[in-house]
Structure 1
Amino acid sequence: MTMRINRKLSFAVAAGALALLTACGSDGDSMAGHEGMNSSSAPAATTASASPSAAFNDADVMFAQMMIPHHQQAVEMADLAATRASDPEIKELAAKIKAAQDPEIQAMKTWLTEWGKAASEGDTGHGMGHEMPGVMSEEEMKKLEAAKAKEFDKLFAQQMIAHHNGAIEMARTEQTDGSNLEAKELAKTIETTQQAEVEQLQKILDRL
């Protein structure tokens, strides 16, 4: 009789322990579920609250400040081609350059405004104290303005190749040193697009 009682007690204790473990396990799973939800929802909340302009560094600012006037000069050169170039491919490419770079200028101006930084608009010699690679001097621009027909075509191709190569160098620096995702993506686009245009300009120059 005593053994039966002891067995009943043992079974009761075991059952109680099992129930307790099950309850704890259930609580643990529940907590784990909450933790999982918290950990997965936290990045989403961060992403939702972070605007595209929130993350940037000095390299991003320099890229925009320098690329704006750099692009503006390319657009100015492209405008000259509309009335001075004689080669149809030069005219077509110049129009393409202007169409691509005008919106990029506006985008970079917007970034600088959002970042609370000044733009170096119209400064085609320097970008906030930094030398810009590939930029044409005032004398070189005047020479291009004075040229016409085939002379203009050759000079335009030569100058735009140098100008594009400078932009490609700046774009590569931004991709390496920048932190803003939009700025780095634009830099990648500039590098890809202008590298293709350099190759096209070289072919044009070879046949002129």
Structure 2
Amino acid sequence: MKVGFALLMAGTMTACTKNNDGITPQAHDDNVYQQIMHANMTQMNAMKMTGDADHDFAMMMQMHHQGAIDMANQELKAGNDQTMKTMAQNIITSQTTEKAQFAQFISSHTPTASSAGQAFDMMAMQDMDKMMKAQDTRILTGRSDVDFAALMIDHHQSALDMAQNELKYGTVNTMRQMAQKIIDEQKTEISQFQDWLITNKPY
């Protein structure tokens, strides 16, 4: 029985190896998109939070958007798939505009700390940590289109999470409206990235 079990396991392992032919994971430290994200996360971790939900949402989303823009620029530079390049350009266009709106709000708003704001800050940092863990466990291929699509799903999800926390804790209408806009737009884009990955079957 033991010999039979050993042979069965050996056959299973061989089958798994054959099924995995063609998959050559890239080390995360070597992946340009991971490098962009880790640099962006380092900057976000260095931010001085104010304890004001609306102000800190604007600061974090402004920097978060920059990470998406940097990734999208890399896709335009290195990608081959026209659908992904079009999505990258759309991200650059929309999030550059939103960055300017966040910057305008930050410059005209005096932050006031509150318990709600502190709760937002705690949840926002948890969202960032969740995003990095999700990205750190993804299989990366070194193929720009595939890695851009996969990692942008996680990146967009963290933006959704932060925007939902802004709706929960924020009080300024302009920021709440921007949070809802982010939720609506990025839910759609997550679905588009997922559909592309399913259709192209990168793994």
Under a length normalisation based on structure 1, what TM-score does the superposition of the two structures give? 0.59
* Aligned pairs (5 A) from 1:131-146: 131=125, 133=128
Aligned to 1:59: 53
Larger Rg: 1
Say if 1:70 and 1:135, in contact at 8 Å, map to a contact too.
no
1:189 and 2:181 correspond: yes
Aligned to 1:162: 154
In structure 2, what is the Cα distance between the partners aligned to 1:195 and 1:110?
A: 25
Say which SS state the counterpart of residue 86 (structure 1) adopts.
coil
Say if 1:68 and 1:109, in contact at 8 Å, map to a contact too.
yes
Offset of residue 116 of structure 1: 3.7
Q: 1:85 to 1:197 in 2, by over 3 A?
A: same
Superimposed CA distance per residue, residues 76-109 of structure 1 (whole angstroms, 9 cap, x where no aligned partner): 0000011111111000000001100001111111
Q: 1:182 to 1:75 in 2, by over 3 A?
A: same
Say which SS state the counterpart of residue 165 (structure 1) adopts.
helix
1:101 and 2:95 correspond: yes
In structure 1, what is the Cα distance between the partners aligned to 2:70 and 2:144?
A: 14
Under a length normalisation based on structure 2, what TM-score does the superposition of the two structures give? 0.60
In structure 2, what is the Cα distance between the partners aligned to 1:115 and 1:196?
A: 30
Amino acid at match of 1:173: N
In structure 2, list runs of 5 or more residues that go unmatched. 1-50, 112-120
Say if 1:85 and 1:91, in contact at 8 Å, map to a contact too.
yes
In structure 1, list runs of 5 or more residues that go unmatched. 1-56, 118-126
Aligned to 2:108: 114
Offset of residue 182 of structure 1: 0.5
In structure 2, what is the Cα distance between the partners aligned to 1:154 and 1:207?
A: 11
Q: How many residues align?
A: 136
In structure 2, what is the Cα distance between the partners aligned to 1:179 and 1:83?
A: 40
Say which SS state the counterpart of residue 179 (structure 1) adopts.
coil
Aligned to 1:86: 80
CA RMSD across the alignment: 2.7
